[in-house]
Amino acid sequence: MRRADARRREGDGVTTPRANDEYLLGHDEAEQRRLRGQDEVWAAETESFMDRLGLSEGKRVLEIGCGIGLGLPRLGRRVGVGGRVVGFERNHEYLAASRRLIRDQGLEQAEIFSGDIERDVLPEGPFDAIYSRWVFSYLPDVEAVLRRLRPLLATGGRIGLLDYNHDGIRVFPEAPRFDEVIAAVRRWFAIDGGNCWVAGVLPLNFVNSGYRVLGVHPFVQAGPPDSPVYRWVEDFLFVQAPHMIGAGVLSEAQWAAFVEEWERMRGAAGTILYSPMQVGVLAQAR
Ligand SMILES: C[S@@+](CC[C@H](N)C(=O)[O-])C[C@H]1O[C@@H](n2cnc3c(N)ncnc32)[C@H](O)[C@@H]1O
């Protein structure tokens, strides 16, 4: 078993194997709550990037790794009731949440497909756009997936991937324990074959997989301890720390030192956090 295939649950000290449909961050209640909060923090940037997908009334759009379905209403609004929105997701709990969401919101133009983007049968195209957010940083072979997606695009269709270029994340005044925990996050992504700088190499991945790049759109936020972006980073670290400790990329002592530093920073005047870069990369099949 690879090290990253084991997750130690908070408090119980028991290491359990990861199910096949689980990705690095897991799918428990705390993670689902974190995804909803995260969606609110990055709503404006997400909308602005979606505006570049070329969607309008009646178009067809596929979302890869739709998670609990938060992007589907945004896409549904753009294509209207005469359009087609397809969510594709691997995890069974998230599939159920996505299905509930489209039912509760009356998104009749939406449907959800189950599968692993790396190996399973894909929904039938063509699609005028393919969209994905925070999924490609977890994929070990991005180009293989891009090559699988290419035939699904309609002529002139666009693909837009919003993901991390993990540079830029810092707290000021300088916070060395924070930097240590961020280094652990990066190691954690890597041991599972992911790349938290994926957005930096997506243009090359697109070119190598038969696309031409139409644009690269970076987004950054900054804020003090009571800001949404500060709480977003805090939430990620506190939800995921037990899993990082379980995976062996962070020690209990490092975490304890960080928590002490974090409390101090929260109360200090002038503390400011910068987010990592989020980058939307837009491409078209060649
Ligand atoms: C960080 S979440 C992002 C969810 C959603 N895109 C959002 O913006 O809220 C990553 C999602 O990608 C899904 N995922 C990861 N690897 C996948 C794969 N190989 N095939 C399909 N879905 C995958 C996970 O199950 C999870 O729902």
Mind giving me the DSSP string for 91-154? -HHHHHHHHHHHHHTT-TTEEEEE--TTTSPPPP--EEEEEEES-GGG-S-HHHHHHHHGGGEE
Angle between helices 92-104 and 29-41 (to 10 degrees): 50
Main-chain dihedrals φ then ψ at residue 181, nearest 5 degrees: -70, -35
Expressed in angstroms and rounded, the spacing between residue 247 Cα and the centre of ligand 1 is 20
Question: Of all protein residues, whose CA lies closest to atom 16 belonging to ligand 1?
Answer: 23
Please give the single-letter amino acid code of residue 216. V
Ligand 1: residue of 21, 23, 278 to mutate (most ligand atoms within 8 A of CB) is: 23
Query: Starting at the edge strand that comes first in sequence, how are the strands of the sheet with 153-165 ordered?
Result: 110-114, 84-89, 60-64, 127-133, 153-165, 277-285, 211-219
- Structural domains of the chain sorted by starting position, each given as residue range(s) with its CATH number in brackets: 3-7+15-164+194-220+275-285 (3.40.50.150)
How many CB atoms sit inside 10 A of residue 282's CB?
23
Ligand 1 atom at minimal distance to the Cα of residue 132: 6
Ligand 1 near 31 CB (within 6 A): no
* Cut 0.85: pTM above it: yes
Of 168, 161, 243, nearest to 205 (Cα)? Answer: 161
Would you say 275 and 221 are in contact if contact means Cβ atoms under 8 Å apart?
A: yes
Q: Over its length of 286 residues, how does the chain's per-residue pLDDT go in tens digits?
A: 233 333 333 333 333 445 667 777 777 788 888 899 999 999 999 999 999 999 999 999 999 999 999 999 999 999 999 999 999 999 999 999 999 999 999 999 999 999 999 999 999 999 999 999 999 999 999 999 999 999 999 999 999 999 999 999 999 999 999 999 999 999 998 998 999 999 999 999 999 999 999 999 999 999 999 999 999 999 999 989 999 999 999 999 999 999 999 999 999 999 999 999 999 999 999 9
Ligand 1 atom at minimal distance to the Cα of residue 162: 8
Question: Of all protein residues, whose CA lies closest to atom 23 belonging to ligand 1?
Answer: 65
Strands 222-223 and 272-274: antiparallel
